[in-house]
């Protein structure tokens, strides 16, 4: 089955701890994205990557880091510098297709602070 997987489904973070969220896709998509969703708000872009070994900051990158060592994988680390990390984190991927680019989402990871 082709698709986007995210793990874990739920993640608990202690204060001062870094945690890493996994995102894998087997769709052979070029681009991958991380979003954060808070209740009653639209999705906000954290980081994106169009090609292996390259990534760009989105609108709310502070307190987060990413890597793109393989086309299929785009892990997100929530660092201790992110003071309000509780949210629903969504990974997406797309083929770079200009105006017809469409993003598809993984099932998400809920991060909760203990």
Partner 1 sequence: RKEVEQDPGPFNVPEGATVAFNCTYSNSASQSFFWYRQDCRKEPKLLMSVYSSGNEDGRFTAQLNRASQYISLLIRDSKLSDSATYLCVVNLNAGGTSYGKLTFGQGTILTVHP
CB of 95 to partner 1, least distance (A): 9
| 3-state secondary structure at position 28 | coil
Q: Site mask, partner 1, residues 41-80, x = CB under 8 A?
A: xxxxx--x-x-----x------------------------
Structure token digits, residue 90: 């969504």
Structure token digits, residue 73: 């994988």
Tell me the helix, strand and coil percentages in the chain, rounded to 5.
Answer: 5, 50, 45
Task: State which of residues 19, 23, 90, 111 lies at the interface with partner 1 (CB under 8 A).
Answer: 90
Structure token digits, residue 106: 């993984």
Q: By the criterion CB under 8 A, which residues form the site for partner 1?
A: 31, 40-45, 48, 50, 56, 88, 90, 96-108, 110
């Amino acid at each position: 089955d082709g698709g986007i997987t995210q793990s874990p489904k739920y993640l608990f973070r202690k204060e001062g701890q870094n945690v890493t969220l996994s995102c894998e896709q087997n769709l052979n998509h070029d681009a991958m994205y991380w979003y954060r969703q808070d209740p009653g708000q639209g999705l906000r872009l954290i980081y994106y990557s169009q090609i292996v070994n390259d990534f760009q900051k989105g609108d709310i990158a502070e307190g987060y880091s990413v890597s793109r060592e393989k086309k299929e994988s785009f892990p997100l680390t929530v660092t201790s510098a992110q003071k309000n990390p509780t949210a629903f984190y969504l990974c997406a991927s797309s083929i770079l297709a200009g105006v017809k680019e469409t993003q598809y989402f993984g099932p998400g990871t809920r991060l909760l602070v203990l």
